[in-house]
Amino acid sequence: MNNINRRYFIKTAGAAGLALAAGNNKLFGADPSDKVVVAVIGIHSRGKQLAQEFASDKNCEVKYVVDVDSRYLDSAVETVEKAQGKKPAKLKDFRKALADKDIDAVVIATPDHWHAPMAIEALKAGKHVYVEKPCSHNPAEGELLIAAQKKYGKLVQMGNQRRSMAIANQMIMEIKDGIIGRAYAAKTWYANGRAPIGYGKEITVPDYLDWDLWQGPAPRTAYRSNVHPYNWHWFWNWGTGESLNNATHEVDVARWALELDFPTKVVSAGGRFHYVDQDDWAAYDSQNYSIEFKEKKMITWEGMSCNTYNPLGGGRGVIIYGDKGAIHYLTDSYTVFDAKSKKIKEVGSGTKNTDATNTVDPGLGSSHSANFLTAILGKNKLNSPVAEGHKSVLLCQLGNIAQRSGTTVYCDPSNGHIIDNPKAQKLWSRQYESGWKPKI
Ligand SMILES: NC(=O)c1ccc[n+]([C@@H]2O[C@H](COP(=O)([O-])OP(=O)(O)OC[C@H]3O[C@@H](n4cnc5c(N)ncnc54)[C@H](O)[C@@H]3O)[C@@H](O)[C@H]2O)c1
């Protein structure tokens, strides 16, 4: 019996066990064998932050840091050791972590094409999963991951951390309480000053990288100089563009605030419009999509990857419109306006904090990982279970599908499936490298 199963056994053994598991925080904090043991997979940038975050949590031990690029392992080991006082082991192949019965959960921060396939393998191996956003590379994979979660019964949390931020939760509560009346529309945006990535050259795979395992489920290509790390985001074989890279966060807040599930219609305009003919960035640096819902509500997203000018404030945010006012949300603050556009309240960091009840979670928020760990320990529910995360990811995927197919996409509002549009429907799933297609 591994640590977590032992705890579940204690919990389900009777009322006394339940009280023990739910009530006594120290029980889990004091004994190292009661920690959730995790492997963090893909530890360059986001993964290293997450490794630090998980290792700093009293409910967790990071046993492995895993990466197919050996250059990043030592510094991740150092970071984790500093945070938890114990060295994690280094691994190249995540399947070794899945085979270790001590591992209770995996944290996935690889490129997007690996998210759902790796999460599915982890579920099959009996592990809980924290998967970075987007939870899938394409809608079919998202649905498969939800089916796998149901079949294998472990927890899957998506890394849209605003769901665990106190400030966002407080704002949503106020919207539900009617502070802006009936919330019916949201404008979301993202702006950054990304440089061009040049034209990649085919080069020999560096000896520090396992390119085959990096590619995994994606059809094989020769190694090129401008793909790894990070710039894979802008190539459809691995990435999902700025839409899934960043809209995922704000579109998710909008969908949460407006209480929506699946849309009826999606349109998009956009392209590689800044550095025209200057590199091989295949996604869009400028994009604008609009999403309609049967509830008579709408969400728009504007992404400007290569232009930092933004009169709406911050590089990213959400404006939520209600029939009695509006809210302007900038990650760690929000401002409320009445129906005459008069400011009635400011809450959060950098504001006058006119609400004394506010508790702000600064930065990107470590409470999302804490929520995942305590959910595994049976103390609370996940703030972003994958079936919910998928709905927000799907909206951003449909924005890309509308753009890539050059069509208006109409959807079944019961599940978001595309209606009567073969060009768009082709993009619902992807081609896999032979032998790597995820199965549950
Ligand atoms: N929630 C957030 O706020 C947030 C912020 C940043 C990034 N992210 C997400 O995190 C993910 C990673 O982004 P990044 O910027 O760190 O990318 P990155 O390219 O810098 O790092 C990805 C790492 O994964 C490794 N990798 C690739 N295939 C692997 C495999 N099979 N096994 C083990 N390691 C593998 C790569 O070698 C690399 O070190 C993305 O999906 C991104 O969307 C989320």
Q: In angstroms, rounded to a whole number, what is the distance separating the alpha carbons of residues 435 and 185?
A: 44
Q: Ligand 1 center to residue 231 CA distance, Å?
A: 11
Flag whether the pTM goes above 0.85.
yes
Q: In angstroms, rounded to a whole number, what is the distance separating the alpha carbons of residues 40 and 177?
A: 39
What pLDDT sits at residue 313? 85
- Among 43, 132, 160, say which to mutate for ligand 1: greatest number of ligand atoms within 8 Å of CB: 132
- Residues of the chain with pLDDT below 50 are 1-2, 4-30, 356-365
Residue 7 · residue 31 · CB < 8 Å: no
What pLDDT sits at residue 34? 81
- Across all residues in the chain, what is the average pLDDT? 91
Sorted by sequence, the CB contacts under 8 Å of residue 396 that are 6+ apart come out as 134, 240, 243, 244, 247, 248, 251, 301
For residue 16, give Cα distances in angstroms to 10, 28, 197, 284. Answer: 9, 16, 59, 56
Q: Ligand 1 center to residue 340 CA distance, Å?
A: 44
What pLDDT sits at residue 310? 86
- Among 41, 45, 138, 250, say which to mutate for ligand 1: greatest number of ligand atoms within 8 Å of CB: 45
Sorted by sequence, the CB contacts under 8 Å of residue 119 that are 6+ apart come out as 106, 108, 129, 131, 135, 145, 148, 156, 386
Q: Which atom of ligand 1 is nearest to the CA of 161?
A: 1
Domain 3-163 indexed as CATH 1.20.59.20: no
- Among 110, 237, 433, say which to mutate for ligand 1: greatest number of ligand atoms within 8 Å of CB: 110
pLDDT digits (tens, 9 = 90+) for 69-106: 999 999 999 999 999 999 999 999 999 999 999 999 99
- Among 66, 68, 75, 194, say which to mutate for ligand 1: greatest number of ligand atoms within 8 Å of CB: 68
For residue 35, give Cα distances in angstroms to 52, 87, 148, 194, 412. Answer: 16, 15, 25, 40, 43
Q: Which atom of ligand 1 is nearest to the CA of 118?
A: 31
CATH number, span 165-363+386-428: 3.30.360.10
Beta-sheet strand order (sheet of 128-131): 89-91, 60-66, 36-41, 105-108, 128-131, 156-158
Q: Where are the domains of the chain?
A: 3-163, 165-363+386-428
pLDDT digits (tens, 9 = 90+) for 306-344: 999 988 988 999 999 999 999 999 999 999 999 999 999
pLDDT digits (tens, 9 = 90+) for 284-312: 999 999 999 999 999 999 999 999 998 89
Question: Both tokens of residue 411?
Answer: 């959807």
Q: 207 φ, ψ to 5°?
A: -70, -15
Residues with CB under 6 Å of ligand 1 are 41-42, 44-47, 66-69, 72, 94, 109-112, 114, 132-133, 159, 161, 213-214, 216, 229-230, 245, 364
pLDDT digits (tens, 9 = 90+) for 27-48: 344 455 589 999 999 999 999 9
Q: Which atom of ligand 1 is nearest to the CA of 160?
A: 1
How many other β-carbons are positioned within 10 Å of the β-carbon of residue 112? 24
